[in-house]
Structure 1
């Protein structure tokens, strides 16, 4: 898998809007983010420019309006970040991570039931 650009938390908020509504213009991105953040329109425009520079977004100029589309897929980015987190904090050991959540009572009964169901389906699929 290709290495995807590093995206800050603020840039990730911009990407979530673009992933959901692409193609989307600058004004629409700004309008949506002003509802959920206290950022200025100038800050939002700076974040968009950074994402273009990093290769996460591309744009097309339609008369005087810039319309943005993502270059990277949301699921690819989330998978990369999940793997990075796992390696950084748990040395790549998924069992250690899940154990930490269980031991710290971070998982609800519903979470545990969901995990059991997922593991059961995976086991059935793999023929184990």
Structure 2
């Protein structure tokens, strides 16, 4: 399991959008959102390389960073860990907690219904 902090995730978001990119490009992008120092960004980049989330190649004097994990794969891993930790691995209580707080829009409900219908159809086809 890849454990990425919120600060590291901010870097990963930039890298997933712009890969490959240099530390300077990442600093520039992040400074539009937060006041991050270049040294902080480079420290986080080194941590992500050491964790196996990033790789880099040298281009002249610059390091060009690329992800070793796809955004979708990380999202699946992180959401699975979240559901496991807070809801004992069950999705229904998660959805119920959002529904009780009225955070599900009609669009969300329609998409969930379509998802459930598709999953039921796939399961039926697999059993046939």
Match for 2:3 among 2, 6, 15? 6
Q: Offset of 1:122 from its aligned partner?
A: 2.9
Q: Offset of 1:85 from its aligned partner?
A: 0.4
Aligned residues: 125
Q: Offset of 1:72 from its aligned partner?
A: 1.3
Match for 2:83 among 69, 82, 86? 86
Q: Name stretches of at least 5 consecutive residues in structure 2 with no aligned partner.
A: none
2:27 matched to 1:64?
Answer: no
2:20 matched to 1:23?
Answer: yes
Q: TM-score under structure 1 normalisation?
A: 0.88
Cα RMSD (Å) of the superposition? 1.5
Q: What is the match of residue 45 of structure 1?
A: 42
Q: Offset of 1:35 from its aligned partner?
A: 1.0
Helix, strand or coil: the match of 1:38?
coil
Helix, strand or coil: the match of 2:103?
coil
Per-residue deviation, residues 27-57 of structure 1 (Å, max 9, x unmatched):
1111111111221222112111111111111
Q: Offset of 1:24 from its aligned partner?
A: 0.8
Q: Offset of 1:62 from its aligned partner?
A: 1.4
Q: TM-score under structure 2 normalisation?
A: 0.88
Q: 1-side partners of 2:114 and 2:54: how far apart? A: 37
Q: 1-side partners of 2:105 and 2:62: how far apart? A: 47
